[in-house]
Chains A and B, each alone.
Chain A
Amino acid sequence: MDKSPQPPSECDVAIIGGGPSGLAAATELKKLGVNSVVILEREAEAGGIPRHCAHSPFGMREFKRVYNGANYTLKLSQRAMDQGVVICLNTSVIALHKHTQLTLSTPHGVQTLHAKKVIICTGIRETPRAKRLVSGQRPLGIMTTGALQSMISLKHKRPFKQPIIIGTELVSFSALLSCRSAGIRPIAMLEKNARITAKYGTQILAKVLGIPIYYESELSNIIGKHHVNAVDIVSKKSSFKNRLQCDGVIFTGQFIAESSLLSMSHLKIDPHSANPIIDQFGRCSDSDYFATGNMTHPVETAGYCWSNGIKTAQLVYASLKGRLDCYQQHARITSASADIKYIIPQTIAISSKKNELAGINALQIRVNKALKGRLSIRSGEKILVQKNINTLPERRVELALPELVKNDANASLQLYFESG
């Protein structure tokens, strides 16, 4: 903690969050020749979420070899520092202001930092029990995968021995592996749909470890005064209620953007997904602020976020050089279907000159339920782009960025889904 530098009062680019995308963006900016690049990291170490993933594989894209999460983040931080990135630890950003002014809290108190550009990459978090409005008591032993994994791999502690895992996303199986590493034996995994959310085949992991997956089942009650001692589950098929003895509940996944800094600032977020509102250059509604990494697309792998960070750094560099200044007009994309969880970017910037800069070249979409049919972006009656999809929740769907011309500015584009 003492070795970490204090934040300066001014810098060229301030990066909020030292996870894979933040470290990648910072390193790239230095490579491009930007003078002062500062990462503001609220934890005592940089690295973000992969820091608590004791398991592999990490680093395929970045280092062409496999690391576990902790070593991978060490490599990324080292590489950033070698390039001259200033990483300020135990530094929390308290507020974002106009004119890229930030209020910070450090162990020494409050200070301000003025940057020319700011990149926000504060990542994601899982949806905890409270927000899911789950019934029951509120004893010890209820947590998310993130909390469990940091307890196990950073502190070598375990909060329970026989928990139940709620969900079957990729992270749910990651929770399963972490449990195994700590001598925790989950009693079951619970999935409300008829198949797992992670890619088909992942369920074999549970089978190998002898952990049953209960499909079309939901948690209906948590029991325990001081510590969890049982849960009730209901099955959709039989409306059958079953009480299972267990000593913990792990709520996995349902990742949402950690965008609370934005929601308390002048920057706009999409209230339904909590994603920041950005354009294809990653610029927020105040165009000196950029957003990147998992907070713009819950949820992708560390490697994906790392590539994202590099791309954003190049765009921030272009912005510092004034090359994005001609993109000040926007068309807005909204979703016409309740089955669409989010679309990002939600705005497309249109150049007053001939297009010369490529930003993010695809729209990212996530859905709320299994969907098969056609996605399209329309301007009035006119179809700009379309694509056939057959997808599940939490899976990445990409759609080409529609090409817009000058007189499309302020147009309202609609994302449609037709099943079939």
Chain B
Amino acid sequence: MIPTSNHQQNKQNAHCFDIIIIGAGLVGCAMARKFTLAGASVLTLEKGADILDGASKGNSAILHTGFDAPPDSIEQSCIADSYQEFISLRKKLHLPLMKTGALVLAWTDDEAERLDGIIKKAYRNQVQDVELLNATRILNKEPQLANHVKAGVYVPREYVIDPWTTPYVYMRQALVNGAKLNCSCEVLNGEFNGEQWQLKTNQGEFKARTVINCAGLYGDVIDQHLIGSSTFQIRPRKGQFLVYDTPAHRLIHSIILPVPNEITKGVVICRTAFGKLLVGPTAEEQDDRDDASVDSETLQSLRKKGEELLPALADVPINATYAGIRPATEFKDYVINHHQDKHYISVGGIRSTGLTAALGIANYVFKKHTDDTQAYSTPEKIIYPDKLHQIAENETRDWQMRGNKGIVCHCERVTEREIETALHDPHLAPASLDGLKRRTRVTMGRCQGFYCSAKLSEMTEGYFQQAIAENIKQENYNG
């Protein structure tokens, strides 16, 4: 993190931005990019020490077509729009993509009867290339699946993307085009004087003509602080995941989806861009917005579920477990409210589909916003950020290149040069070990830091708010 000097800080505080975005999660990052590239001056305020520190850090990394989204919903339209934009942008922004396709599988007769409805819904959502497959064709496609599968729907354009690089690059493009980002900056309250917002934060006051609330798990709280009430209530829904080691990546090709029920999309088996395999998530309602605990019993049952559908998983070790918290609300659809009189837009209830839909949500909000305010003048030149070290396995990794300075994290093959580059990043340096993990994959493999923690504790000294380890003073070192 580059410390902002007092002088710069004061200047920032006095300046009136066109837009202040609250929250640098997936949605906040895409929003910052959209408005910045449209010519607005944008400041993003993030409560966490790093971007993507809330709900956005634990998702299942799928680029959805929206085939199963509620028809005519905001969610469906944002997904569809976002999907197109992602595909057209990804080469320019160097965003990895794995063309996996998905199979919605019925394991009981009852589920098999519901497949027809899934196909009809896909058609309504303009996803017309879905196909009903019988058990034989499914097992030909995915021979490792348990053979009690009944039937399924093949959705060829559901893909796997890199869940961290993607939003990271959105924010990076905003920043290289002039946007500002303040992390560890919590919005406490604010006032609107009819023309301008004045937001009070733990880092002082900031002014903007319009405020966009992308605060995810705290979206309703921010609404209450700023406009007195919220039209939705966040109901945190936790999802636990298992991450299987590399040999599991070879077991399936497609994303394996269940036939969804009323509450959740159910447990997914899915390869990751990082050469692993995910099983999850669960869907557990809880009051706490921050507590992403895993629990042993649930993890065991996820393992059992995974092995039931993909028996060869029994022979593959589990590398990691984690939980994400979805900012669900009492509504099925996204809740996007435009308070025109207050120059305030609230973006709430962006759940599992947020990674896919972020670009579409930003477009949706931008359109709403510019309907009634003066449009910004598009900048003369849009800068595309330099290509980062690629952390996805289907790209060329740094360990394959000259001058990489050697591998530090052996399980995930992260080089010393990649770690140094991330730590010295002038735009988006990580402020915590978690942040460094999301940028490089360090310690995320099978040994979970057995080999590389010592080297990392040395390399990251002075970079993180909370150090991995402290130096031992001579007087209490007897080694």
Q: Given the complex of chains A and B, what is the CA–CA distance between A178 and B297 in angstroms?
A: 33
Q: Write the chain A residue with the least CB distance to B316.
A: A271
Whether A79 is near chain B, meaning CB under 8 Å from some CB there, is no
CB distance A125 to B450 under 8 Å?
Answer: yes
Once A and B bind, how many residue pairs between them come within 8 Å at the CB atom? 165
Known: A54-B479, A92-B413. A130 touches B453 (CB 8 A): no
- Which 6 pairs of residues, A with B, have the shortest CB-CB distance? A183-B476, A271-B315, A150-B454, A128-B448, A157-B469, A90-B406
CB distance B407 to A153 under 8 Å?
Answer: no
Q: Given the complex of chains A and B, what is the CA–CA distance between A260 and B317 in angstroms?
A: 10
Bitwise interface map of A from 149 to 191 toward B, beta carbon under 8 Å scored 1, else 0? 0111111111100000000000000000010111100000000
Query: B212-220, B353-361, B395-403: which lies at the A interface?
Result: B395-403
CB distance B290 to A107 under 8 Å?
Answer: no
Q: Write the chain B residue with the least CB distance to A124.
A: B450
Known: A109-B400, A109-B402, A159-B468. A146 touches B451 (CB 8 A): yes
Bitwise interface map of A from 1 to 31 toward B, beta carbon under 8 Å scored 1, else 0? 1000000000000000000000000000000
Known: A136-B293, A183-B477, A260-B245. A107 touches B406 (CB 8 A): yes
CB distance A138 to B318 under 8 Å?
Answer: no
CB distance A125 to B451 under 8 Å?
Answer: yes
Q: Which single member of A42, A125, A140 contacts B468 (CB below 8 Å)? A: A140
CB distance from B155 to the nearest CB of A (A): 29
Q: Given the complex of chains A and B, what is the CA–CA distance between A279 and B404 in angstroms?
A: 38
Query: B102-110, B195-203, B252-260, B319-327: which lies at the A interface?
Result: B319-327
Q: Given the complex of chains A and B, what is the CA–CA distance between A130 and B302 in angstroms?
A: 14
CB neighbors of A among B436-470 (8 A): 446-451, 453-455, 457-458, 466, 468-470
Q: Which residues on the A side are within 8 Å of B449 (C-beta)?
A: 128, 143-144, 147
User: Could you write out 8 A-B pairs with CB less than 8 Å apart?
Assistant: A42-B407, A105-B404, A126-B450, A130-B448, A150-B451, A150-B453, A156-B472, A183-B477
CB distance A263 to B247 under 8 Å?
Answer: yes
Q: Write the chain B residue with the least CB distance to A43.
A: B451
Q: Given the complex of chains A and B, what is the CA–CA distance between A263 and B446 in angstroms?
A: 13
Q: Which residues on the A side are within 8 Å of B470 (C-beta)?
A: 157-159
Q: Which residues on the B side are within 8 Å of A65 (C-beta)?
A: none
CB distance B457 to A92 under 8 Å?
Answer: no
CB distance A105 to B292 under 8 Å?
Answer: no
CB distance from A260 to the nearest CB of B (A): 6
CB distance from A296 to the nearest CB of B (A): 18
Q: Given the complex of chains A and B, what is the CA–CA distance between A300 and B318 in angstroms?
A: 25
Whether A133 is near chain B, meaning CB under 8 Å from some CB there, is yes
Q: Which residues on the A side are within 8 Å of B8 (C-beta)?
A: none
Q: Which residues on the A side are within 8 Å of B400 (C-beta)?
A: 105, 109-110
Known: A133-B318, A134-B296, A137-B291. A183 touches B472 (CB 8 A): yes
CB distance from B143 to the nearest CB of A (A): 18
Whether A332 is near chain B, meaning CB under 8 Å from some CB there, is no
Whether B284 is near chain A, meaning CB under 8 Å from some CB there, is no
CB distance from A112 to the nearest CB of B (A): 13
Q: Given the complex of chains A and B, what is the CA–CA distance between A155 and B457 in angstroms?
A: 8
Q: Interface SS of chain A: helix, strand, loop or mixed?
A: mixed
Q: Which single member of A125, A136, A152, A159 contacts B294 (CB below 8 Å)? A: A136
Q: Given the complex of chains A and B, what is the CA–CA distance between A151 and B406 in angstroms?
A: 19
CB neighbors of B among A256-279 (8 A): 258, 260, 263-264, 271-272, 274
Q: Given the complex of chains A and B, what is the CA–CA distance between A106 and B433 in angstroms?
A: 25
Q: Given the complex of chains A and B, what is the CA–CA distance between A92 and B399 in angstroms?
A: 9
CB distance from A208 to the nearest CB of B (A): 15
Q: Which residues on the A side are within 8 Å of B473 (C-beta)?
A: 183
CB distance A105 to B399 under 8 Å?
Answer: yes
CB distance from A266 to the nearest CB of B (A): 13
CB distance B477 to A128 under 8 Å?
Answer: no
CB distance A125 to B407 under 8 Å?
Answer: no
Q: Which residues on the B side are within 8 Å of A182 (C-beta)?
A: 472, 476-479
Bitwise interface map of B from 393 to 422 toward A, beta carbon under 8 Å scored 1, else 0? 000000111111111001101000000000
Known: A107-B403, A138-B322, A227-B466. A181 touches B477 (CB 8 A): yes
Whether B300 is near chain A, meaning CB under 8 Å from some CB there, is yes
CB distance A152 to B318 under 8 Å?
Answer: no
Q: Given the complex of chains A and B, what is the CA–CA distance between A331 and B450 in angstroms?
A: 36
Whether A131 is near chain B, meaning CB under 8 Å from some CB there, is yes
Q: Write the chain A residue with the least CB distance to B411.
A: A260
Whether A226 is near chain B, meaning CB under 8 Å from some CB there, is yes
Q: Which single member of B319, B320, B407, B433 contacts A140 (CB below 8 Å)? A: B433
Q: Write the chain A residue with the least CB distance to B402.
A: A109
Q: Given the complex of chains A and B, what is the CA–CA distance between A216 and B300 in angstroms?
A: 22
Q: Which residues on the A side are within 8 Å of B85 (C-beta)?
A: none
Q: Which single member of B291, B402, B453 contacts A147 (CB below 8 Å)? A: B453
CB distance A107 to B293 under 8 Å?
Answer: no
Whether B140 is near chain A, meaning CB under 8 Å from some CB there, is no
CB distance A153 to B479 under 8 Å?
Answer: yes
